[in-house]
Structure 1
Amino acid sequence: MRRVLILGGTAEARGLAGELAADPGLWVVSSLAGRVTNPRLPAGEVREGGFGGAAGLAAFLAEERIDVLVDATHPFAERMTASAAAASSATGVPLLVLRRPGWTEEPGDAWSRVGSLPAAADLLATGDWRRPTPRDEGRARVFLTTGRRSLALFASVPGVWLLARSVDPPEPPVPPNVHVLLDRGPYTVEGERALIREHRLDVLVTKDSGGPMTTAKLAAARQLGLPVIMVNRPPLPAGVRLADTVAAAVDWVHG
């Protein structure tokens, strides 16, 4: 029986676990970081909590006699992917990175791409993304969907009001210029459009996560002429094998 470890937490990871767990020739365990309250659990065995970096992951691979490692974490889980690459190199366990494709601009989009979250905050501060006529006398009303851990970075930008949407609440205290909206996708274009209008939002700041669950905000921004500050994905470690669909990952594991 081949032993497969999936570094999970995404819809693709759950889909992969469901496909592989149905194979009687595979023993599948999914590892969740434990950062989300009440996560959606995949099929097969589940392990929660970190490994303690690359060395800890390498030790787990050896102790559990793992044959195949699949990193299906979030496209912005840069540290985990680096640890997976290092652990694979140290142990010889083959590694596949499963990443859904990123988003691409469509006609009518007004995107400004940046290389990092700090670069997005810097661009927000300059005002270079602005409409010709701001809605609120120069005070930018920002739709922030970059995750609760980045909230402090954007809340410190002068002259902004933030509608920050996340699955779990941020650590208190919440700055006075921030309104937190707790919600989990998938979302609808109609709902996102109504949200933008209700809060009179001027700009969307988001990460290029890809996938259909949260793409509705981009369609709503396009329809309403809302500028978007898009944070590009971090680069993958050199030499890793990449799959962009669950089906391709299943074929690789079986092969």
Structure 2
Amino acid sequence: MSLYRDEGVVLRTQKLGEADRIITILTKRTGKVRGVAKGIRRTTSRFGARLEPFTHVDLQLHAGRSLDVITQAETLHPYGQAIVRDYARYTAGMAMLETADRLAAAEKEPALRLFLLLVGGLRTLAEGAHEPRLVLDAFLLRSLAVAGYAPALTACARCGGEAVQAFAIAAGGAVCGACRPPGAAVPAPGTLELMNALLRGDWATADGSEPRQRSECSGFVARYLQWHLEHGIRSLRHVERDWPLRRAEPDAAPAYGAHG
């Protein structure tokens, strides 16, 4: 087996046998990796809390046929320490990890931009400078953009016109009155501006947004994400989900995880 080293963020873990765990990690250079941490469930394990979700770690692994073997793990940033103490941060963080896992569908395909987005999102979430729901929506929008699914927000997704009036998920985002399909949602004033601010990293605008705009934004982002993933992000169902929509799209997936 060949030995390699990489840094990554732990996405999830699952038990293997009596003492081992399979650790799924999004790494900086290799992409998504599944590795076995032998003996990690024993109290004497040298890995301990280093391989828990949210942790940014430096790893050494042996490449295997189906699963790699984690031989060393050193904590770079223990983001989970701050995130797990707050329910809003925790649920937002879990949705971020699950989304990264889903978007990096193939193992060992480099996903540097997604990795950097995840590290930045978890850092921002742990620092607590912004509302967790805003941090989550910013991560989701930017991750969709990296995957090639960025929604149209400032011009009509169909004709390119600037007089947008509605948000149509199946059409690709904002649409003008002439291109608006039946059932398209009509956002409150400022909602699309908030979505664009989150996509661009304009936190001054995002932090100054109103509760109605934030709720509506979360609904649009969740529905748009799940439309492109075709299956629900289970963790989203635990995130705050009270948003008023003037009119919901009948063809959109119900927001915040309706799929079992």
Answer whether TM exceeds 0.5 for this pair.
no
Q: Which has the higher contact order (CA 8 A, sep 6+)?
A: 1
Q: Structure 1-normalised TM-score?
A: 0.32
More helix by proportion, 1 or 2?
Answer: 2
